[in-house]
Amino acid sequence: MTEQQHSHGFERGTDGPKVIVVGVDGSDSSLRAAAYAGGLARRQHALLAVVYVQPVMAAGAALGVPVAETTDEIAEDLVAQIREAAERVKGIFDLRWEFHTFRGDPYNGLVKAADELKADAVVVGASEQAGHRIIGSVAVRLVKAGRWPVTVVP
């Protein structure tokens, strides 16, 4: 029998997550979410897709400020933090992970990331902004979308 004859079509989520998307923005809660998602990915033998959504400001709002350069610096700093954390635990467990950057607002960026990466699960940190209690956090909006299991890490 060939390998192809043994292959089975698996439904997303039925054998545990194979791709776990975690949103990071440099906040303490997002870094805790990344650590939690890393442990989950290790236990499930899943790919950890670390996603940073670069904010895009309207041209009028920027008023000549080099916003793209600033957000690129933030993204580079996050990459450095994640790589440093990965190096510290390198010998402890084998974890497959990728870093992705999307542009836009955090909610739409994470939805796009989860769709494009065929996520089985999404992990985010709880919002640290008081205003989100009124208008709804990214986490609440992801849960309401109802497209993936969403874990919110405090």
State in Å, rounded, how far the first CA of the chain is from the last one.
49
Sign of the four-CA dihedral 123, 127, 133, 138: negative
Query: What pTM was estimated for this model as a whole?
Result: 0.72
What pLDDT is recorded for position 2? 43
| CA nearest to 122, candidates 113, 131, 135 | 113
67: tokens are 């916003």
- pLDDT level of residue 5 (50, 70, 90 thresholds): very low
CA distance 150 to 123: 6
pLDDT tens by residue, 9-20? 445 545 667 999
Angle ∠(105,111,116) on CA atoms, nearest 5: 120
